[in-house]
Amino acid sequence: MKGKGKIFFASDFHLGLTAGTNPLERERRIVRWLHMAAAEASEIYLLGDVFDFWWEYRLVVPRGFTRFLGKLSSLTDSGIPVHFFTGNHDMWTFDYLSRECGLIVHKEPLTTKFDGHTFHLAHGEGLGSRSIIYRILLSIFRNKVLQAMYSALHPALGVGFGLKWSLNSRLGKGVHLDFMGDLNEDLLRYSRTILEEQKIDHFIFGHRHLPLTYIMKEGPSVIFLGDWISSGSYAVWDGSELKLEEFI
pLDDT band at 227; cut points 50, 70, 90: very high
The fold of the 6-246 domain, in CATH, is Purple Acid Phosphatase; chain A, domain 2 (3.60.21)
Coil, helix or strand for 85? strand
pTM: 0.88
Calculate the dihedral angle through the C-alpha atoms of 164, 169, 171, 177, rounding to the nearest 10 degrees.
Answer: 170
pLDDT tens digits for range 84-102 = 999 888 878 888 999 999 9
Can you give the residue ranges of every domain in the chain?
Answer: 6-246
Higher pLDDT, residue 128 or 21: 128
pLDDT tens digits for range 148-182 = 676 667 766 766 666 666 666 655 545 557 888 88
